[in-house]
Structure 1
Amino acid sequence: MAKPIKVIQKTELTEEEKKKQSLENLLSGVAENKESLLETLMLLQELHESGITETLGSLLKTKEKAAKIAVGQLTRKPVTNMINNAMAAGGILTELDPETTGKLAKSLTSGLQRAEQGLKEDYKIGLFDLMKAIKDPDINRALGFGFNLLKGMGEGLKE
């Protein structure tokens, strides 16, 4: 009967063998990814020829100064106002029903087209035309929408 193995000898690679194995792994990776590496090299060449790599290198060397300038620009009052307004507009848009917003945008487009057509005709509107227009169901619907919009805005401004 064979003797049981009591000691397992771990083979330690020398530094030279580790380097050789790393180099073989690297060459294998290059061979497997030849096309993507060539495309990456071409991209880097284009970036170098256009001066972008030089610009990025300079930017990285002066990163603290560039960061101070960027932060200084971002903390200016007009920029912070723009960011706050964008966030408020985003908050408003999350509360609106997308179907209603789409319908409103479509009707606004239609209204602008009709208004442009009216400008080309250069028609003068008289008092009787206004009275007649109020009876038009489309105009009456838009007026009702506008009055309700103004009512809601007024209630919101009261708070």
Structure 2
Amino acid sequence: MAKPIAFKPVTVDFKADLLRKLEKAPGEHAEALLLAYDVLEAAHEAGVLDLLHGAIGAKDTIITTLSKYAAQPEGIAAIRNLLTAAKILTELDPDALGRMMKAMTSATREHKKEQKPPSLFQLAKRATSEDSRRGLSFMTLVLSGLGKSLKS
């Protein structure tokens, strides 16, 4: 008759394995540990750790207060507005937004250089350029959409 094979599982000492890894860590990760210490020190000096410690200690109070305000109509409206704003931001083209920011920076610089306000003729001349008409077209479309949304 066949004899069963004796099976004895190897016991693993997880604690000893962790201690071995911990002993090797300073040598293997010295640069990362030094950088982590620098970050920790900077956070301590700036008071960030005190802020985090206080927030962790007051977590029940903070959560209770936030949930109380979130349940009010103003809180619900604020959350909905934040979600809508996030949706709008995700639909913006980052390249177009960057170009608009450069144009606004340039316009601000030019505006600061002006000694006196431009004449009506200068304004009309500016408004008739192709780029100005493109911008005015966009703004009138935005205004039309805003007017439609204001109809109840």
For Structure 1 versus Structure 2, the TM-score category normalised by the shorter chain is 0.5 to 0.7
Do the aligned partners of residues 133 and 158 (structure 1) sit closer, same or farther apart at CA in structure 2, a change above 3 Å counting? same
Aligned match of 2:100: 107
Q: Matches of 1:65 and 1:83 in 2, distance apart?
A: 20
Q: Matches of 1:152 and 1:33 in 2, distance apart?
A: 62
Aligned match of 1:120: 113
Count of residues in Structure 1 that have an aligned counterpart in Structure 2: 134
Q: Matches of 2:111 and 2:143 in 1, distance apart?
A: 25
Q: Is the 8 A contact 1:133 1:139 kept in 2?
A: yes
Letter in 1 for 2:109: E
* SS at structure 1 position matched to 2:125: helix
What TM-score do you get using the length of structure 2 for normalisation? 0.56
Deviation at 1:65, TM superposition (A): 4.9
Do the aligned partners of residues 78 and 8 (structure 1) sit closer, same or farther apart at CA in structure 2, a change above 3 Å counting? same
Quick check: 1:151 aligned with 2:147? no
Letter in 1 for 2:2: P
Instruction: State the identity %.
Output: 18
Q: Matches of 2:147 and 2:16 in 1, distance apart?
A: 72
Structure with max Cα Rg: 1
CA offsets 1:17-36 (integer angstroms, 9 cap, x no match): xxxx67x5522432144234
- Give ranges in structure 2 of 5+ residues lacking alignment: 28-32
